[in-house]
Structure 1
Amino acid sequence: MSAPTPEPETDAPQPLTRGHKKRERTRRGLIDAALRLVARKEVGEIALLEVATEAEVSNGTIYNYFRTREEVLEAVGIAMADEFSDAISALSSDVRSGAQRLSIGVRMFIRRAAEDEQWASALLRIFHFDQAIRSRLAAHVLDDLQAGLREGALSYHDEGIALDLVVSCTTGAMRAVVEGRGVADHDVQLAEMILKALGATPAKARKIASLALPEAPVGA
């Protein structure tokens, strides 16, 4: 019996065509335009066609990518949160402690807010406008929370409350920094308080929160 002919592989990624690349550039241009608008005005005041004008594309073009204002704003928020969270995860890849990774994430979001107020203002406005971005940020926190619990550095009873605590406190600190209410070592102080609230001993929380951050192209 002859050997069966192997079926062609279908899972291999296909190279992007010129059309796909152009479409992705246009979509990214629309997201960047929406980001600039969000930084200047309230989310509820932004119209979909205003995004097209800001991106210098035709009104018809934007409808090929987004049908509503809510869709484009959700895309903006998710892109912002994912890009920075992914960068933090890459920088923390060699850190074994979940509690330390959690501290790094909290501190870097606050520091980014201090260095890039436009980015922070846009993220915060969309955060309070859209549930999807809140869920994305929580997803990035969850693994570190669970790892911290397993390693015994953290101790909490309800995962949902723990998630809310980290995300709400971090975004609240970002807002304080943007509004000029930041204090010296704001990121370190908040990380220490969060770790203590999550069950870390005062000495461990202070030690973890004070560790040097991995070098990062903040604002890149």
Structure 2
Amino acid sequence: MESLNPTQRRIHQAAFRLFAERGTSQVNILDLAQEAGVARGTVYSNIDNMESLFEAVASHLAKEMHERVNKSFNSLSDPAPRLANGIRLFIRRAHEDSQWGAFIHKFAMSNASLREMFSSQATTDLLSGLSSGRYTFEKGQLLSVMTLISSSVLGSIFLVLEGHKTWRESGSDTAELVLRALGVPPEEARALAITELPALPSLD
């Protein structure tokens, strides 16, 4: 949202909260104006339509999370700990910011920007792990592996949001099971899944 003026930023932040809570079809201009604390005319003059507003919100969220997770990998070259950390960073953030978690859980599979958030860096790391022998799956299975990872993360976010598991339990279990599915030995997969997780870096 770097290019937005203060009023637009306020509207986008209000839209994010409403979309996370209600979904896209249950939000109208009046709701948005009330949530943002502005007049309806101000909303009309600052957005084209609800569809483009949603896409802008989702695109910003995806770009921001992708850049922060990628920045946290600066000192890691091994694809296995990168994957273990990436999985847990998503799940921990859903715990720390339940609105963010709800937005991701609702829309990650249906929105192209959010799908790209999951797949862009992970695809590179998976192919790197495959070529180095770190992972054992067929190259033709890459799309299925990506679906396995993203659906596992979203399922874990659901468990955390619903209070069935803590983020540490859900994150570690998911990271361990995904790594084992990719061919990482069980003991190593567990060790990587419970390693201290770094803070999610801010974007300067």
TM range (shorter): 0.7 to 0.9
Q: Are the equivalent residues in 2 in contact too, given 1:92–1:214 (CA < 8 A)?
A: no
- Give the counterpart letter for 2:15 in structure 1: A
Alpha-carbon separation, structure 1, partners of 2:128 and 2:46? 38
Q: Are the equivalent residues in 1 in contact too, given 2:62–2:113 (CA < 8 A)?
A: no
Bigger radius of gyration, 1 or 2? 1
State which of 111, 122, 129 in structure 2 corresponds to 1:148: 129
Q: Are the equivalent residues in 2 in contact too, given 1:31–1:76 (CA < 8 A)?
A: yes
Shift in Å, 1:170: 0.4
SS of the aligned residue for 1:44 comes to: coil
Instruction: Extract unaligned runs of 5+ from structure 1.
Output: 1-20
Q: Are the equivalent residues in 2 in contact too, given 1:192–1:205 (CA < 8 A)?
A: yes
> Per-residue CA shift, 1:173-205, capped at 9, x if unaligned?
001110111156221111010111122222332
Shift in Å, 1:83: 1.4
Q: Are the equivalent residues in 2 in contact too, given 1:77–1:127 (CA < 8 A)?
A: no
Q: Are the equivalent residues in 1 in contact too, given 2:18–2:32 (CA < 8 A)?
A: yes
Q: Are the equivalent residues in 1 in contact too, given 2:71–2:201 (CA < 8 A)?
A: no
Q: Are the equivalent residues in 1 in contact too, given 2:23–2:106 (CA < 8 A)?
A: yes
> Per-residue CA shift, 1:116-146, capped at 9, x if unaligned?
2122112222324423322332223222222
Q: Are the equivalent residues in 1 in contact too, given 2:59–2:114 (CA < 8 A)?
A: yes
Question: 1:4 maps to what in 2?
Answer: none
Task: Trace 1:1-220 onto structure 2 (pairs within 5 A).
Answer: 23-63=4-44, 65-157=46-138, 158-183=141-166, 185-216=169-200
Higher helix share goes to which structure?
A: 2
- Percent identical among aligned pairs is 30
Distance 1:212 1:152, change over 3 A: farther
Greater alpha carbon shift after TM alignment, 106-115 vs 55-64: 55-64
Distance 1:153 1:168, change over 3 A: same
SS of the aligned residue for 2:25 comes to: helix
Shift in Å, 1:106: 0.2
Instruction: Extract unaligned runs of 5+ from structure 2.
Output: none
How many equivalent residue pairs? 198
Shift in Å, 1:212: 2.1
Report 1 or 2 for greater relative contact order, CA contacts < 8 Å, sequence distance ≥ 6.
2
Alpha-carbon separation, structure 2, partners of 1:137 and 1:74? 16
